[in-house]
Structure 1
Amino acid sequence: MRAIAYSHTGPSSVLQLVERDLTEPGPGDVRVRVVVSGVNPTDWKARAGAGAGRAAPFPEVVPNQDGAGVVDAVGEGVTGFAVGDRVWVFLAAHERPTGTAQEFAVLPAARVVHLPDAAGFELGASLGVPAMTAHRALSVHEDGPTRLGPGALDGRIVLVAGGAGAVGHAAIQLARWSGAQVITTVSSPEKAALATAAGAHHVVDYRTDDAAKAIRAIAPHGVDQVVEVSPARNGELNGRILANHGSVSVYATDGGTEMTLDVRRHFSLNVRYQFLLLYTVGDAALAAAAEDITRAVADGALPVGDDAGLPLTRFPLERTAEAHDAVEAGTVGKVLIDVAADAAKAAS
């Protein structure tokens, strides 16, 4: 089978197309014929490592956490999956040497999820890290809910910082599906159009508007939940727009790794800051996210593509290095790798 692999960290040029033997699934494993692989910032950052030329965590690493395809074989003791099932997968390469940038991937069954029949493989490969991060960000408020679904966020006002990004896009969709009123901040009219297409009720361009004033005009009593991509930049803004008992879910450090807060103001508002990293949230949180996200997909609540506000940029497997470079360069939308030769046809 064809795979993309690297043995030392560094720029995308360390990624090489190789031929490898097909691996049989062990007990508790599922082998998936990968149709589409999704690329996230975490993928190129893991490949780049702390410095070029250092040994990879395994003798050979196949990158990429997310993907979608068809079950090809199941290992001993696996229930709930059969050959031919359409699936999406997550954290394929977490603490493991092989991810989804290959024609066949063997994963623990717990990281494989049924893909609803109406969903294309390009959608399945776009879930994983972004959608599961968004789910966690929306389910850590002190008053709940811990699960998402229609009505779960009724009456809540949610602010999504950076609504044109992959996590922001999923957060807008999941929040709206769960009944919240959704506000998002963006940096350009083009990104405003994407956030609106994703389903945001209100869009604030923080480069041309007084963001706090605009948000307060929409939510005079304040915002209940913030999905935060840039805590260093937005600490002062959040302090001005949060409602009493508001929460801020921080999932990234865009704009810097240090933040300054007005302690007295946050005291007075009983604010909760929740930092989250998908890789260490625990199996229960991952399982809950996978189940709720699959329900949302079945309901048609998580579409991707231009019309849904998440443009797709696609590369064939042999151009995986270019796909990594595109994500590192900040390509708007979702970058995908068509692993199967007929991926474009199979994904539709």
Structure 2
Amino acid sequence: MKAAYYERQGKASEVLRLGEFPVTQPGAGEVRVRIHASGLNPSDIKARTGFSGGMSFPLVVPHQDGAGVIDAVGTGVDSARIGERVWLFEAQYLRAFGTAAEFVVVPSQQAVSLPDNVSYEVGACLGVPALTAHRCLFADGEIKGRAVLVHGGAGAVGTAAILLAKWAGAWVATTVSTPGQADAARRAGADVVIDRWREDVTTVVKAATGQRGVDRIVDVSVKENLEIDIGCLANGGVISAYAMGASDDQLSVNLLRAMIAGCGFRFVYIYTVPFTAKSAAISAISQCLAEGAYCPTIGLHLPLDAIVAAHEAQESGQVIGKIIIN
């Protein structure tokens, strides 16, 4: 099979290569999937550059998310799964081979049935973004009839959070930085779209919620947004942070303001979220898909041969929507 890989961490153009590898057989409890689409995430970039730690394996085929068709199963897996359309999550977590390849082997529970009316490209948009968004939104209770603020509503997790929150019956405000991002956030269903550079986020959110504030905040940069978050939060609300930059390893909190706000903090690293929570997320995501309510923005399609260009596009931050490797 053809696969992208790297044997050392560094710049995409310096370390990413294409090669031919044997097609492996699934072991006990595993399935093999012929990949139709692979989804690229910021965490894939962080792994390749060394931001999130050193090399766990001598050779890595990147990418956690993808979608395709099961073509073989290991012992203990029902052979009826052969031919099943699936979406994948955490394919490369604690494993050397991810979805940037023509085939991948994963534990059976990490290959989730993909409805016939959902494309492989949309399936490859799930995984990390959808599971992360669900955890941020629902870990502290149901959100039907509640108000949600999503920072960075045009990003992969931001878009997933808007889609899932609207599907669940919440009111959603989101922040963006450009007109193109605003369009993407509106397509996802956001009720209020706020230009973070031209508008006062707290004033807009408070006015739109009758001064009450929001019950959940899904934050891509909590260190940068903390003052805004506490200002926007309804009493007893929760701020869920799921990402950080290289200089964001410490967070200072004004304890008095946080106490007065009754503020809760949740930090989400999807790879270590308990599987029981992921299972609940998978059920919700599957229902959302089946109802036709999950329609993410796909910003760029590239072939596997263009893996370097795909990684560079992800790092540039200029692509609005998910980057998909076909």
Matches within 5 A, 1:252-331: 252-254=243-245, 256-304=248-296, 310-330=297-317, 331=319
Matched, 1:193 2:183: yes
Which residue is 1:28 aligned to?
Answer: 29
> Which region of structure 1 is more displaced relative to structure 2, 119-128 or 212-221?
212-221
1 CA distance for matches of 2:266 and 2:8?
A: 34
Shift of 1:269: 2.1
Matched, 1:234 2:225: yes
1 CA distance for matches of 2:179 and 2:310?
A: 26
Which residue is 1:149 aligned to?
Answer: none
Which amino acid letter does the alignment assign opposite residue 325 of structure 2? I
Which residue is 1:159 aligned to?
Answer: 149
> Which region of structure 1 is more displaced relative to structure 2, 62-71 or 74-83?
74-83
1 CA distance for matches of 2:321 and 2:76?
A: 38
1 CA distance for matches of 2:146 and 2:300?
A: 33
> Which region of structure 1 is more displaced relative to structure 2, 274-283 or 310-319?
310-319
Shift of 1:282: 1.7
| 8 Å Cα contact 2:180-2:320 kept in structure 1 | no
Matched, 1:9 2:1: no
Report the 3-state secondary structure (helix = DSSP H, G, I; strand = E; otherwise coil) of the residue aligned with 1:174.
Answer: helix
Matches within 5 A, 1:176-215: 176-215=166-205
Report the 3-state secondary structure (helix = DSSP H, G, I; strand = E; otherwise coil) of the residue aligned with 2:81.
Answer: coil
Which amino acid letter does the alignment assign opposite residue 72 of structure 2? A
Shift of 1:65: 0.3
2:206 aligns with one of 200, 216, 236: 216
Which residue is 1:130 aligned to?
Answer: 129
Residues 149-184 of structure 1 deviation map (CA, whole Å, 9 limit, x = unaligned): xxxx22200000111111000000000000000011
Matched, 1:19 2:24: no
Q: Is there any run of 5+ residues in structure 2 with no aligned partner, and where?
A: none
TM-score by length of 2: 0.95
Shift of 1:55: 7.4
Shift of 1:196: 0.7
Which amino acid letter does the alignment assign opposite residue 258 of structure 1? Q
2 CA distance for matches of 1:217 and 1:256?
A: 30
Shift of 1:104: 0.8
Which amino acid letter does the alignment assign opposite residue 16 of structure 2? L
Shift of 1:257: 3.4
Which amino acid letter does the alignment assign opposite residue 281 of structure 1? V
Q: CA RMSD in A?
A: 1.6
Which amino acid letter does the alignment assign opposite residue 58 of structure 1? F
1 CA distance for matches of 2:150 and 2:51?
A: 30
2 CA distance for matches of 1:50 and 1:40?
A: 14
What is the percent sequence identity of the aligned residues? 45
The count of aligned residue pairs is 322
Residues 195-247 of structure 1 deviation map (CA, whole Å, 9 limit, x = unaligned): 11110011111211121111111012111110011111111111111111110
Which amino acid letter does the alignment assign opposite residue 276 of structure 2? A
Residues 13-59 of structure 1 deviation map (CA, whole Å, 9 limit, x = unaligned): 311111111111111000000000001011121111159xx973212
Matches within 5 A, 1:36-55: 36-49=37-50
Shift of 1:126: 0.6
Shift of 1:79: 3.2
Shift of 1:256: 3.2
Report the 3-state secondary structure (helix = DSSP H, G, I; strand = E; otherwise coil) of the residue aligned with 2:76.
Answer: coil
1 CA distance for matches of 2:133 and 2:156?
A: 9
Q: Is there any run of 5+ residues in structure 1 with no aligned partner, and where?
A: 146-152, 305-309, 339-348
TM-score by length of 1: 0.89
Report the 3-state secondary structure (helix = DSSP H, G, I; strand = E; otherwise coil) of the residue aligned with 2:197.
Answer: coil
1 CA distance for matches of 2:310 and 2:282?
A: 25
| 8 Å Cα contact 1:71-1:81 kept in structure 2 | no
Which residue is 1:91 aligned to?
Answer: 90
Shift of 1:277: 0.2
1:249 aligns with one of 240, 243, 263: 240
Shift of 1:260: 3.2
The structure-2 alpha-carbon separation of the partners of 1:81 and 1:45, relative to structure 1 and needing over 3 Å to count, comes to farther
Which residue is 2:118 aligned to?
Answer: 119
Shift of 1:119: 0.1
